[in-house]
Amino acid sequence: MASIDREAILARLAAVPGPDGNGDLVSLGLISDIVIHGGKVMFSITVDAARADALEPLREQAAAAVKALPGVESTLVILTAERKGGAGAPPPPRPARPAASAPPTSASGKPGIPGVGAIIAVASGKGGVGKSTTAVNIALGLAANGLKVGLLDADIYGPSVPRLLGLSGKPETQDGRTLKPMEAFGIKAMSMGFLVEEETPMIWRGPMVMSALTQMLREVAWAPLDVLVVDMPPGTGDAQLTMAQQVPLAGAVIVSTPQDLALIDARKGLAMFRKVDVPVLGIVENMSYFLCPHCGGRSDIFSHGGARHEAERLGVPFLGEVPLDLVIRETSDAGRPIVASAPDGPHAAVYRDIATRISMAIAGGAGAKPAPRIIIE
């Protein structure tokens, strides 16, 4: 495969006229950083938010110009509207393709994805609490309860869903544009990890993160799905806040370990979703207690119960506690998550119960309120 030259891409884009027919996309400074991964080229074009629909042909023209280059297998081109001058909230990026039919509207007031019932985020205030392991097993628990489920790995800095589901290879495209999700254990999955090599250092700028996320949401053949579980990046910084605002979420699940510090971080996670008016469906306590693989004995090594107590204090549902057990780690790391590999075992039952509570919370109307726009200074 011919390697793709950034200059060649810019040359192509320099031949595409600007939004008003004057100048060109490059000399007008409308092209973001260009990210090239294998045969995939990603960039965004900055436009006036009010004209985003009218400028869809411009986006298509730019994508076609780059796609025609040797070695380019697919493109991810999105119209973004950047805030100018400091006042007001940034307008949301435009989906690369308008929805085919009127999609459901989410808690956040943003249009959902046609054919996808509810989108829920699994988040944690800090890294390493087992968020991805929990997200995967919750997704499988929802599927075991009879739902059609997808899993979107939004942790683009450290995607772990391919490893956790034992998936490798690249997703195919349906029509040169829409990606077919990968499938494992009866659920659909999409991750940046499928699109880039695991060892590739990734340097992302805000607009690129949004482009990647938007494509994984809107340019993947997810439908039909009852629930799309989004594994969020850990933490509660601006990136997560923006992401939480961009995804049309019905609700969020916070994963915490029992330690005090993790709980403080979990509180930050809660505050973050409240800020963008996404309902918190509840807290899961992971590594809640230790089950000895030898004697089966249980020890509460991290003063278990902290998350339940905290959930009660904060008036948030407590969704369940998952033990710290070697078999959960081993199955996760081997790409055979416990809910799929030991469906009749006690851990699968714990995750299925958590999934049931989540389904009830969604059915109970979580997600009815529209979100206010947020301002990130």
The number of C-alpha atoms within 13 Å of 6 and in the hemisphere containing its C-beta is 9
Sequence-ordered list of residues with C-beta below 8 angstroms from that of 377, at least 6 positions apart, any chain: none
67 known ligand binder: no
Residues at the interface with ligand ATP (CB under 6 A): 124, 127-133, 155, 158, 160, 234, 286-287, 322, 324-325, 328-329, 332-333
Cα angle for residues 68, 208, 245 (degrees, 5° grid):
130
Closest distance of CB 78 from ligand ATP, Å: 25
The smaller minimum CB distance to ligand ATP, of residues 182 and 350, is found at 350
**Do residues 210 and 93 touch, judged by C-beta distance below 8 A?**
yes
Closest distance of CB 177 from ligand ATP, Å: 29
d(CA 125, CA 240): 10
The amino acid present at 16, given as its one-letter code, is V
The smaller minimum CB distance to ligand ATP, of residues 75 and 332, is found at 332
Phi, psi (deg, nearest 5) at residue 259: -60, 150
Closest distance of CB 73 from ligand ATP, Å: 28
128 known ligand binder: yes
132 known ligand binder: yes
131 known ligand binder: yes
Closest distance of CB 293 from ligand ATP, Å: 11
84 known ligand binder: no
Neighbours of 113 (CB within 10 A): 22
**Do residues 218 and 138 touch, judged by C-beta distance below 8 A?**
no
Structure tokens that stand for 255 in this block: 């994963």
The smaller minimum CB distance to ligand ATP, of residues 92 and 130, is found at 130
The smaller minimum CB distance to ligand ATP, of residues 214 and 257, is found at 257
130 known ligand binder: yes
The smaller minimum CB distance to ligand ATP, of residues 312 and 333, is found at 333
d(CA 47, CA 41): 19
Sequence-ordered list of residues with C-beta below 8 angstroms from that of 13, at least 6 positions apart, any chain: 24, 25, 26, 31, 62, 65, 66
299 known ligand binder: no
Closest distance of CB 101 from ligand ATP, Å: 34
> Quick check: bond before 93 cis, omega within 30?
no
Closest distance of CB 283 from ligand ATP, Å: 14
Beta strands at 149-153 and 187-191: parallel, antiparallel or unpaired: parallel
The alpha carbon torsion through 29, 35, 38, 41 (nearest 10 deg) reads -40
125 known ligand binder: yes
3-state secondary structure of 122: strand
Closest distance of CB 157 from ligand ATP, Å: 9
The smaller minimum CB distance to ligand ATP, of residues 231 and 277, is found at 231
**Do residues 251 and 367 touch, judged by C-beta distance below 8 A?**
yes
The smaller minimum CB distance to ligand ATP, of residues 65 and 339, is found at 339
Residue ranges of the annotated binding site are 125-132
Known binding-site residue numbers for ATP: 125-132
